[in-house]
Amino acid sequence: MNGHAKRTRSVFITLALAPAIILMTIFMLYPVLSVFQMSLFRWGGYSADKEFIGFANFVTLSKDMNFIRSMQNTILLIVLVTVVTLAFALVFAAILTRVKFLGVGLFRVIFYIPNILSIVVISAIFSAIYDPSQGLLNSVLRIFHASSWQGVQWLGNEKLVIFSVAFALIWQAIGYYMVMYMSAMASIPEDLYESASLDGASVLRQFFTITIPLTWNTIRTTLTFFVISTINLSFLLVTAMTGGGPNGSTEVFLSYMYKQANTNSAYGYGMAIGVVVFVFSFALSAILQAITKRDVYEF
């Protein structure tokens, strides 16, 4: 290739990449950087006067018990939703791909339905289920109790309410991850299972020594999805269902950030929370990726 052709080639590459890079800079890079920049200011959100205060917002944040509680709630939700959903989704996926029975397709659809529903609909459904007097849950429990039984305050008990939120999140997430695992499991060659069963491996043994290792890469990828989607969906569900209440006991990262940035006129402080969420989700995903790293098995 002579010099002229080389130059033409590099100009072409630059021009071809330019649109993507320009759009990426405007819509991704610039907003993220301005969040970082705004977190260093005391600013109400509308006024012209921004006061540079360095890292003072982060110092306040480390002492703000309400923020720490919202962080605890988020972490609890991430752990609970990930562990429980992962377990159920894997088992259901294995059953639906390995076991042949009537209505496999129907079950696949039924499991996936919650994922299509809007979070607002889910919050309405679970508000009805958790209703203390006429709700589905308390009505079932009332069978085992005396008629004077008051019922469990699923959304009114401050120690219980975060688990009520977690259950709704798990319910809506299982189908989505199940479908992902199913597609990974479907590509495992049937002869592996055949030879394993000839060698006398039980179904359980096959699950742990064939299915799990061969879907490991998909599982690792979904761990990152779990972190991101729990942070996002918990905000939507909490906003629609409990409003962060009673008394802040279901406040999560983003709902607290929204409250500080908009309701409390502390926009800079809200952006500081945004920075923490950004760093936290990146770090957590990186840690999860690092500790789940295994040799990839090929079939």
Partner 1 sequence: MKKRWLLAAVVMAASTALLAACGSNSGSGANSSSSSSKTLNVAALEGGYGSAAWKAVVKDFGAANPGVKVKLTIDKKLESVVSPKMKAGDYPDVVHLATGRPDALTETMIKSKGMEDLSDVKDMTIPGEKKKVSDVLMPGFDGTLATEPYADGKTYMMPMFYAPTGFFYNATLLKDNGWAVPKTMDELMALGKKAEAKGIALFTYPTTGYLDSMTYSLLADIGGKKYFNDAMGYNHDAWAGKEGTQYFNLVGNLVKQSAKTTVANANNENFRKNQQLILDNKAVFMPNGTWVTSEMKDAPRAKGFKWGFMAVPGVKADDQYAYTYFEQIWVPKKAKNKALAKKFIAFMYSDKATKDFLKGGAVQPVKDVTKQLDAEQKTFYSVYDNGAKVLVGSFQNAKAVEGVNMTDTLFGEITSVTNGTKSISQWQQDVVKAADQLRE
Q: Summarize as ranges the residues that interact with partner 1 (CB under 8 A).
A: 8, 12, 15-16, 18-19, 22-23, 26, 42, 44-47, 49, 57, 60-61, 64, 66-67, 123-124, 127, 130-133, 150, 153-158, 240-243, 245-248, 259-260, 262-266, 269
Q: How far is the CB of 90 from partner 1 (least distance, A)?
A: 32
User: Closer to partner 1 at the Cβ: 109 or 128?
Assistant: 128
CB of 222 to partner 1, least distance (A): 30
Closest separation between CB of residue 95 and partner 1, Å?
Answer: 35
**For partner 1, which is the closer residue by CB, 8 or 197?**
8
Smallest gap from Cβ 169 to partner 1, in A, equals 16
- Cα→Cα distances 37→48, 258, 298, Å: 15, 18, 46
Nearer to partner 1, 72 or 197 (CB): 72
Q: Is the distance from CB of 46 to CB of 224 less than 8 angstroms?
A: no
Min separation Cβ 239 and partner 1, Å: 9
Residue 92, amino acid: F
Shorter beta-carbon distance to partner 1: residue 12 or 297: 12
The letter for the amino acid at 53 is I
- Least gap, CB of 230 to partner 1 (angstroms): 21
Bridge partner residues of 41 (DSSP): 52
Q: Which amino acid is at 208?
A: F
Closest CB to partner 1 among residues 157, 217: 157
With H, G, I as helix, E, B as strand and everything else as coil, classify residue 52. strand
Helix runs in the chain, H state only: 3-24, 30-38, 56-63, 65-98, 104-116, 119-130, 136-142, 161-186, 190-198, 203-206, 212-214, 216-241, 253-258, 267-291
Nearer to partner 1, 57 or 211 (CB): 57
CA angle centred on 176, ends 107 and 129, rounded to 5°? 75
